[in-house]
Structure 1
Amino acid sequence: MRVFILGGTGVVGSAVVRELIARGHELFGLARSGTAAARLGQWGATPIAGDIGCPEPWVGKLPQLDAVVHAACDFDSDMGTTDRRLLDVLLPTLAAQRDPPRLIYTGGCWLFGATGDELATEETPFRPLPAFAWMVPQLRRVLTATGLDGIVIHPAMVYARDGGVFHRLARDAKTGETVSVVESEAVRWPLVHNEDLASLYALALESAPAGSSYIGAAIEGLPIGRIARAFARRFGTGKIEPQIVPVDAIAAELGEWARGYALDQRLSGAKARRELGWRPKHLDPEGEIARLVSS
């Protein structure tokens, strides 16, 4: 397939690019900078210069495509407006292509709100974090759009070795500081490694029915305190017990979207396993942290 990816140099998108190229697909990627273009080219993708915040100049220049993967999001106060403008331009352009392309849209675990002990599935009603409420009508636009095959994937909290959602924890541990967690170390995060998530995107691209949605959760819910303590042990911080950061403090530092770090969640990836044959390999993040090479 000829696939165009938005957000192809991010934690999710970079893994998707490498996975799809390894599976023999031809990749094009939106590149906002020369650095992004070089990275995409290094992996074997063809960069297309442009910015999701200004889609008009580049959308009309897209080649004939079999699929688009939308994995881009600017975590700022205008992200909803940016995404709506992007789809306003992108959806009719894709619908006008010779053959109906697939469009995989990236939702997120924070659309399900705090689930507590309930195990959320694709049938669970959305209770979105307010900062991401704009995403619900957007993904419904994708699923019901005419002239293309829309699919939605809801990633769990995405980690990559000591990166992704583990970045702040790893940073604290590597600098010898007490590792900080938001609200409580008992808060559970559903987790997925970016390589496993990339496999799910590839499977959905190749075989998911149009109009379908999948939760990408390899681990249903793991207390974040266990991850913080694993980093503290691995890098020898002076105090194993995590420092608790109030959710209001993290929101003031990063933005309202960061309140998601305090959501206690359990999410199921059973549908993707059952329907697409998804088989995540990274099921022991604490063990992976213990094996990290110091740098």
Structure 2
Amino acid sequence: MADAIMERPEGAAADWTIPQQWDRYSAADHATWDHLFARQSAMLADRVVPQFMAGLDILRMDQPGIPDFDALSERLMKATGWQVVAVPGLVPDALFFDHLANRRFVAGRFIRTPDQIDYLQEPDIFHDVFGHVPLLANPAFADFMQAYGQGGLRADGLGAIARLARLYWYTVEFGLIRQDDGLRLYGAGIVSSYGESRFALDDPSPNRLGFDLKRLMRTQYKIDDYQQSYFVIDSFEDLLRQTVETDFAPLYAELEGQPDLATDAVLPTDRVFTHGTQAHARAITS
């Protein structure tokens, strides 16, 4: 998501989509993708939610090289009716929501350089496609993403995008899920990051708290470091249910009069899986 007022890049369509131009990727670009894919898929096998690994298999994303969006979309359409479209970078909020509401996932087409292997500020094709797309092959998560887009279009008219953005951040980007064998990863910002894939589950620093929609939408977040708190859903079906069944307009009105919560806050009413030490955050700021 991005600021509402942005100038459309030259060459982009009215909906800000552009051709992927797959044939323009260099051998080095494909090698970077293959390196990242091999490293992440091997490390995630016993950490990520099984539906993610199933998505990699359904979409045949283990084939060498950067995926061709046309072929990827053909497989994804058969699974859940979604497609992947290329954009030049961040897009205006209203367009972002409209794409999601119509089961189109926008993805940047550029790939990071070797010196950016472990971190870059703007999401690249590895974050967008490896991180996000496998779960779009799961029906419940695919329906949640569409419902989120529809909710975003309504939030845009209510001046509540900042609140709704926190739901996306703490679920789609940095969400954890509770399984019978413990917590697992599913957020794209985690699964596409080698460091955060370990930190989010193993490190004693962050809080790991049960998902609560109202509480989550009051919580600030960090964009330039590992998260100080992660929220844990019970299932994709439950996340979808809460999103579809909630009347967000009165919720936004109620939250308007309440103060934001700090990124490291733990409330007496929280369902706490881990009360973090916050040692990582303190080391960064000291």
Global fold match (TM > 0.5)? no
TM-score by length of 2: 0.29
Larger strand fraction of residues: 1
TM-score by length of 1: 0.28
Larger helix fraction of residues: 2
